[in-house]
Amino acid sequence: MGFLLFIAGMGGLLYGIDVGIIAGALPYLESTASVAWHLSAQQLGFIVAAVLLGSVLSSLFAGALADLIGRRWAMVLSGVLFTLSIPLIALADGYLPLLLGRLLQGVSGGLIGVIVPLYLAECLHARQRGRGAALFQLLLTIGLVAAAVIGLMQAHAVETATAAAQHLAEAERTAAVFAAKDHAWRSIFWWCLTPGLVFTIGALLLAESPRWLARRGRVEEARTALLRTRPADEAQAELHEIQQALAPSATATTPATEATAPAADPLLSRRYLLPFLLACLILALNQATGINSVLAYVVNILNQAGLPGTTANAGDVVLKVLNALMTVVAVILVDRKGRKFLLMLGTGGIVTALVAAGLLFRGAESGQHDVRPALQARIQSDSLSLQLDAATLQSLGSTSTTPQQLTVAYSYGPFTNVQTRRSDDPALPLLHMSREDTVQADSVIGAFFRKLHLNPFADPAEGMTAPLHIERADLAAVPSTTHGWQVAAAMCLFVAGFAVGPGVCVWLALSELMPTRIRSNGMSIALLINQFVSTMIAATFLPTVGQYGYATMFFWWAGATLLYFLTATFLLPETKGKTLEEIEAHFAR
Secondary structure of 492-512 as H, E, C letters:
HHHHHHHHHCHHHHHHHHHHH
More confident residue, 420 or 580: 420
Name the nearest CA neighbour of 408 among 473, 346, 461. Answer: 473
Question: What Rg do the C-alpha atoms of the chain give, in angstroms?
Answer: 26
Supply the pLDDT for residue 288: 92
CA angle (256 as vertex; 251, 261 as ends), nearest 5: 125
More confident residue, 354 or 9: 354
Element (H, E) at 114: helix 95-123
Q: What is the pLDDT of residues 403-414, one digit of tens each?
A: 888 888 888 888
Q: What is the pLDDT of residues 452-496, one digit of tens each?
A: 444 445 667 788 888 988 888 888 888 888 998 999 999 999 999
Mean pLDDT of the region 504-519: 66
CA angle (524 as vertex; 354, 568 as ends), nearest 5: 40
Q: Supply the angle between the helices 232-246 and 219-227 in degrees, to the nearest 10.
A: 140
Supply the pLDDT for residue 96: 87
Burial class (CB in 10 A: 0-12, 13-18, 19+), 321: middle
Identify the sign of the CA torsion 67, 69, 75, 78. Answer: negative
Categorize the per-residue pLDDT at 524 as very low, low, confident or very high, splitting at 50, 70 and 90.
Answer: low
The DSSP annotation for 336-364 comes to HH-HHHHHHHHHHHHHHHHHHHHHHHHHH
On average, the pLDDT of the chain sits at 79
Q: Which of 55-64, 374-383, 433-442 has the highest mean pLDDT?
A: 374-383
Whole-angstrom Cα distance, residue 240 to residue 44?
Answer: 54
Q: Could you say which DSSP state residue 516 is in?
A: G
Supply the pLDDT for residue 448: 46
- pTM, full prediction: 0.66
Backbone angles phi, psi at 575, to 5 degrees: -110, 0
Q: What is the pLDDT of residues 202-259, one digit of tens each?
A: 989 888 888 788 878 888 888 887 787 778 887 787 777 777 756 653 343 344 433 3
Mean pLDDT of the region 171-194: 86
- Asked if 572 and 259 touch (Cβ cutoff 8 Å), the reply is no
More confident residue, 565 or 261: 565
How far apart are the two ends of the chain, measured CA to CA in Å? 44
Amino acid occupying residue 322: L
Q: What is the pLDDT of residues 302-341, one digit of tens each?
A: 888 888 777 887 887 788 888 888 888 887 787 778 778 8
Answer left, alpha or beta for residue 425, where phi above 0 means left and psi between -120 and 50 means alpha.
Answer: beta
Three state DSSP letters for 9-76:
HHHHHHHHHHHHHHHHHHHHHHHHHHHHCCCCHHHHHHHHHHHHHHHHHHHHHHHHHHHHHCHHHHHH
Tell me the sheet residues that pair with 412: 415, 468
Supply the pLDDT for residue 510: 61
More confident residue, 397 or 588: 397
Supply the pLDDT for residue 452: 45
Mean pLDDT of the region 60-74: 83
Q: By percentage, how much of the chain surpasses pLDDT 70? A: 84
Supply the pLDDT for residue 261: 38
64 Cβ partners below 8 Å, 6+ apart? none
Amino acid occupying residue 460: P
Supply the pLDDT for residue 493: 96
Whole-angstrom Cα distance, residue 535 to residue 106?
Answer: 11
Backbone angles phi, psi at 404, to 5 degrees: -115, 155
Identify the sign of the CA torsion 250, 255, 257, 261. Answer: positive
Supply the pLDDT for residue 274: 84
405 Cβ partners below 8 Å, 6+ apart? 420, 421, 422, 423, 475, 476, 477, 478
Supply the pLDDT for residue 120: 74
Amino acid occupying residue 378: R
- Which of 84-98, 182-196, 224-238 comes out lowest in average pLDDT? 224-238
Categorize the per-residue pLDDT at 440 as very low, low, confident or very high, splitting at 50, 70 and 90.
Answer: low
Whole-angstrom Cα distance, residue 527 to residue 544?
Answer: 25
Name the nearest CA neighbour of 492 among 288, 321, 313, 308. Answer: 321
Indicate whether 147 pLDDT > 60.
Answer: yes
CA angle (20 as vertex; 14, 26 as ends), nearest 5: 130
Supply the pLDDT for residue 207: 84
Amino acid occupying residue 337: K
Indicate whether 355 pLDDT > 90.
Answer: yes
- DSSP strands (E only) in 343-436: 369-370, 384-386, 404-412, 415-422, 431-433
